[in-house]
Amino acid sequence: MPVSAKTPFTNRVLHAAAAAFVVIALSGCSTTKDRMTTGSVPKFSKPIESMNEAEVRSATETAGQLYEKNPHDPVNGVNYANLLRMAGRDAQALAVMQQVAIANPSDRNVLAAYGKAQAAAGQLQQALDTIGRAQTPDRPDWKLVSAEGAILDQLGRSDEARQRYRSALDIQPNDPSILSNLGMSYVLTGDLRTAETYLRQAAGLPQADSRVRQNLALVVGLQGRFPEAEQIARRELSQQQADANVAYLRSMLSQQNSWQKLAAKDSGNANTGTN
């Protein structure tokens, strides 16, 4: 039997997932790869969100040294803040982006990254305002539209959030990150079946990354289908990454020994042939 989305346990899990959701949803709302204009800015070999822990540490140290030399550089400042957030240093990332934004008040990439940092630090209304200033109505950036949706979800304004995601899909059809955000929006309101529909659509697209599959695994796990959830969490990843994803799933579902209880229930259903 699936887990009801209305139980006290599941509500706590949804709130825990929500704490991480806005960071995941906003992680791609700006990019600096097309703005590498100075020789002093390091060119990373892979996207920041794809780095492992050791790579994040090394890149953070390099970006931090450059930030000390020039705290106003918009490209390195954004990279440094993104790396700090990857390392869980949200307050420091916000402080960095405050300085960079003061020096570059009209830079769209800087404003977008500042909004991300504000959202990660819990300053949701401020983040919404900042990202709104980064947007241009005549040439809207779908990543910023989707980011607005993620923040609105955190503010409990789910209907407005879903309108933003659908507007983003109008600009960028079948984008897995938008579909994933839309699916997670339904997770936050307890509609796990609808959430799974969108997340499966997102995960089935060739450009979907491991974060999309992790969200799908979480939703499947919340419905009590643990062998399937673990299989999704391990798909197309290295052993280290797969173990990290499974550990994340277990941490999300660890309260009241829920993993063991629901896994046993799932096994029992399989043995008896019930659904």
- What is the reported pTM? 0.76
Give 9: exposed, middle or buried? Use CB within 10 Å, 0-12, 13-18, 19+: middle
Q: Is residue 214 part of a domain?
A: yes
Cα 8 from Cα 43, distance rounded (Å): 46
Q: Is residue 166 part of a domain?
A: no
Please calculate the CA angle 132-28-15 and round it to the nearest 5 degrees.
85
Q: Is residue 220 part of a domain?
A: yes
The pLDDT value recorded for residue 175 is 96
Q: What is the mean pLDDT of each run of 10 residues along the chain (275 residues)?
A: 43 52 51 37 64 85 95 95 90 97 93 92 94 92 92 93 97 96 92 96 92 89 88 78 73 55 54 48
3-state secondary structure 120-144: HCCCHHHHHHHHHHHCCCCCCCHHH
Q: Is residue 63 part of a domain?
A: no
The pLDDT value recorded for residue 267 is 55
Cα 92 from Cα 115, distance rounded (Å): 14
The count of other CB atoms within 10 Å of the CB of residue 202 is 27
Q: Is residue 163 part of a domain?
A: no
Q: 104: which 2 tokens?
A: 């570059």
Q: Do the beta carbons of residue 232 and residue 213 sit within 8 Å?
A: yes
Q: Is residue 18 part of a domain?
A: yes
The pLDDT value recorded for residue 38 is 37
Cα 93 from Cα 64, distance rounded (Å): 11
Full residue range of the structural domain in which residue 17 is found: 1-24+176-268
DSSP string, 25-53: HHTTS---GGG--STTS---SS-GGG--H
| Spatial CA neighbour of 211 closest among 191, 186, 241, 239 | 241
How many domains are contained in the chain? Answer: 1
The pLDDT value recorded for residue 16 is 52
Cα 35 from Cα 109, distance rounded (Å): 9
Backbone angles phi, psi at 17, to 5 degrees: -65, -40
DSSP string, 149-205: HHHHHHTT-HHHHHHHHHHHHHHSTT-HHHHHHHHHHHHHTT-HHHHHHHHHHHHTS
| Spatial CA neighbour of 28 closest among 47, 9, 11, 44 | 47
Amino acid identity of 21? F
- CA 57 to the chain's CA centroid: 20
Q: Do the beta carbons of residue 109 and residue 32 sit within 8 Å?
A: yes
Look up tokens 């939703």; give the residue.
219
Q: Is residue 224 part of a domain?
A: yes
Q: Is residue 100 part of a domain?
A: no
